[in-house]
Amino acid sequence: MSALRPLVILAGLLALWQAVVWSSGVAPYILPGPASVAEVLAQRWTSLLRHAGVTVAEVVLGLGFGTILGVASATLIASFRPMRRWLLPVLVVSQAIPVFALAPILTLWLGYGIASKVAMATLIIYFPVTSAFFDGLRRTEPGWIDLARTMNGGRLRTLLRLRVPAALPALASGLRVATAVAPIGAVVGEWVGASAGLGYLMLHANARMQVDVMFAALFVLGLFAVGLYFAVDRTLRWAIPWQPEEHA
């Protein structure tokens, strides 16, 4: 039953959608029915898939770079006290300036290709990853630190063998948030200026009043975003089995 539940929910939503379209008599260029969106999906799936590939590549690369940057920053901030004073303001600024405001500048600097979108996705996940991992590193069980001290453990080894693994569950929560928000960065980047990607496709379709194409692109984007989230979530659960289980 639990495996069927998402399908039942999806079918319910589609039925509701179709019901709204029929009963309200709204024009198809405002809200197309699921049937006409499905038709677009069937006709243009190669093109949709090609654009989706670009967006997914941007999201995955952004996740990779953002994670590397965030983990490195958090480790530096947590291990060297003087670094805290220099890096924490940078971290706050990176979050305080909306990524949306930076998008035109990034496009100007990095061009209409994939690089500016990867930079956007990287920027948007940098803060959640860094702050989650930093929090984890800061909250190492004090008893473990005491134990390492009585064992004459080295500072670097205590960091690598004790504090980093202890902070991995916190990093995992940061990565889950990052996976959910990274597509925002990529799509916003594509809206500002791009030659491919689902965001680009949506903008283009919007200009030509092809609302059914917009919905089809949105559907594909949602599908990939949810798929990516579950893939990341599964991988993290498998790789970090000692994280406290969430209780339903």
Partner 1 sequence: MEHYGKAPAVRIQGARLAYGGHLLFDKLNLEIPAARTTCLLGPSGVGKTSLLRLVAGLAADSEGTVADAAGRPLDGRIAYMAQQDLLLPWLSALDNVLIGSRLRGETVGEAERRRAHDLLVRVGLGGRTDARPAALSGGMRQRVALARTLMEDRPVVLMDEPFSGLDAITRYELQALAAEVLTGRTVLVVTHDPLEALRLGHRLLVLAGRPAVLDDSVQPPDDAPPRDAARQDVLALQARLLDRLSLALEATR
Give the range of 41-49, 57-65, 94-102, 159-167 binding partner 1 by CB under 8 A: 159-167
Residue list 214-243, contact with partner 1 (CB under 8 A):
240-242
CA distances from 26 to 12, 18, 23, 30 (A): 20, 11, 8, 7
Q: How far is the CB of 247 from partner 1 (least distance, A)?
A: 15
Q: How far is the CB of 141 from partner 1 (least distance, A)?
A: 7
Q: How far is the CB of 245 from partner 1 (least distance, A)?
A: 10
Q: How far is the CB of 242 from partner 1 (least distance, A)?
A: 4
Q: Is 240 left (phi over 0), alpha (psi -120 to 50) or beta?
A: beta
Is 28 or 165 the residue whose CB approaches partner 1 more closely? 165
# chain residues binding partner 1, by CB under 8 A: 22
Q: How far is the CB of 103 from partner 1 (least distance, A)?
A: 40
Is 50 or 138 the residue whose CB approaches partner 1 more closely? 138
DSSP letters spanning the chain: -TTTHHHHHHHHHHHHHHHHHHHH---TTTS--HHHHHHHHHHSHHHHHHHHHHHHHHHHHHHHHHHHHHHHHHHHHHH-HHHHHHHHHHHHHHHHS-HHHHHHHHHHHH-SSHHHHHHHHHHHHHHHHHHHHHHHHHT--HHHHHHHHHTT--HHHHIIIIIHHHHHHHHHHHHHHHHHHHHHHHHHHHHHS-SSSHHHHHHHHHHTT-HHHHHHHHHHHHHHHHHHHHHHHHHHHHH-TTSPPPP-
Is 149 or 237 the residue whose CB approaches partner 1 more closely? 149
Q: How far is the CB of 167 from partner 1 (least distance, A)?
A: 11
157 binds partner 1 (CB under 8 A): yes
Is 139 or 157 the residue whose CB approaches partner 1 more closely? 157
Q: Which of 4, 7, 152, 248 binds partner 1 (CB under 8 A)?
A: 152
Q: Give CA–CA dist 137/171, Å, rounded.
A: 9
Residue list 92-151, contact with partner 1 (CB under 8 A):
141, 143-144, 146-151
Q: Which of 165, 223, 227, 231 binds partner 1 (CB under 8 A)?
A: 165
Interface residues toward partner 1, by CB under 8 A: 141, 143-144, 146-154, 157-158, 161-162, 165-166, 168, 240-242
